[in-house]
Chains A and B, each alone.
Chain A
């Protein structure tokens, strides 16, 4: 299965221009804007109040469901850690899985985090990045929201390695699923409320969402190296 997937990724990335690290590559903007508008309409219809809590799920239940689906996604994360030759995270996430599946009552609770084994996400989009594939063009996917060519391929592959990840998504993914910002920005259910309101109050929500997604995704993929995304505003403004 893997060679086929790699070929698929290669096909997509082959049509993509070179990696743009500080700039935005959005050749499909017209089409993307249409998809984005539809996503926003779906979002408005589902979550009119945008309270950030989702449709009436009590907080503890929500937390339990989130933990469960996160534990459930761990084998997939570990597979990606292996594919990225990230030995440290393979060990980290394997212990995390073992602890949460046992002490955490099959994943309903997250005692691993308290033991210092905090959540360390990964996905096939990141694996492709590690393997040297370019980001490609910016894409807005129906329902799923902001993505890139590389990440879209990653999502398809992740669908195969963890089909239940989509049947049982984290409840916070329901909140603003349509704009996809919540699902795409580090799955921070509560933090997402902030992101969402910034998004909705923005002069150009499409462009704001694009920038938020790309900045955040590139930051994640850099491993959180603050020097990586560093730019000197003085130079950009007053430089030659």
Chain B
């Protein structure tokens, strides 16, 4: 009896060790349920902010905290910069840009969240696209508008499950913002300081 348990215990342990070694890291694949849970909490938190009755300025601060909590802001801001800029930026400038960028995103999309009052987001399904990436497909049902499709891309590549992209009817926030930041950079005469100043004003 005791032997059995021991053997089973050893077996389980070694299986775990093999699996961990095979995966190359202790964490296993990102579960679709985990990704859906993240989106559920995100939507609930957004609704909480919208219905909080706070001023727009206060809400922008709340959205900023929300982004830092649920999204891989470091990835998103570096993607917006693209390698063209990340290859020439200093780490200090990168931190300053990231901070300005999160504020800009919070203002720009925070203004739109007013349209979500009385609306809801229904999770339809989720799809494992890679070991570390899940796409959560939802339908946004807002007042006076045809329901539309929103896909949330969740990845745990950054260490824990975080939102990396949001696609509204196929239009990617990542790609749109990359386009936007590249245009701002060019208009700022390809100056990083100029870009950061511009991003602080925008949104």
Contacts and interface: CB of A to CB of B under 8 A. Distances in A.
A229 B165 CA distance: 12
Nearest to A63: B144
A216 B75 CA distance: 23
Contacts of A229: 167, 170, 172
Contacts of A222: 170
Contact of A233 (B115, B164, B167, B198): B164
Interface residues of A, number: 31
A188 B149 CA distance: 12
A198 B111 CA distance: 11
Contacts of A198: 176
Interface stretch (B15-23, B36-44, B51-59, B125-133): B125-133
A237 interface: yes
Most chain A CB inside 10 Å of its own CB: which residue of B79, B112, B144, B169: B169
B30 interface: no
Nearest to B129: A230
B2 interface: no
Interface stretch (A27-35, A93-101, A137-145, A202-210): A202-210
Interface string B130-144: 100101010000001
Most chain B CB inside 10 Å of its own CB: which residue of A191, A215, A226: A226
Interface in A129-187: 185-186
Nearest to B86: A237
Interface residues of B, number: 41
A208 B175 CA distance: 10
A203 B184 contact: yes
B151 A188 contact: no
Contacts, number: 93
Contacts of B127: 226-227
Given A191-B145, A237-B83, A230 B180 contact: no
Interface string B66-80: 000000000110110
A188 B142 CA distance: 12
Nearest to B198: A203
B135 A194 contact: no
B179 A211 contact: yes
A224 B76 CA distance: 24
Interface of A: 119, 185-186, 188, 190-191, 194, 198, 202-204, 207-208, 211-212, 215-216, 218-220, 222, 224, 226-227, 229-230, 232-234, 236-237
Given A191-B146, A203-B180, 12 more contacts: A191-B148, A203-B202, A207-B183, A208-B180, A211-B176, A211-B179, A215-B172, A227-B135, A229-B170, A233-B165, A233-B174, A234-B155
Interface of B: 75-76, 78-79, 82-83, 86, 112, 115, 127, 129-130, 133, 135, 137, 144-146, 148-149, 151, 153, 155, 157, 164-165, 167, 169-172, 174-176, 179-180, 183-184, 187, 198, 202
11 contacts: A186-B169, A194-B112, A203-B202, A208-B176, A212-B171, A216-B170, A224-B170, A226-B151, A227-B135, A232-B130, A234-B157
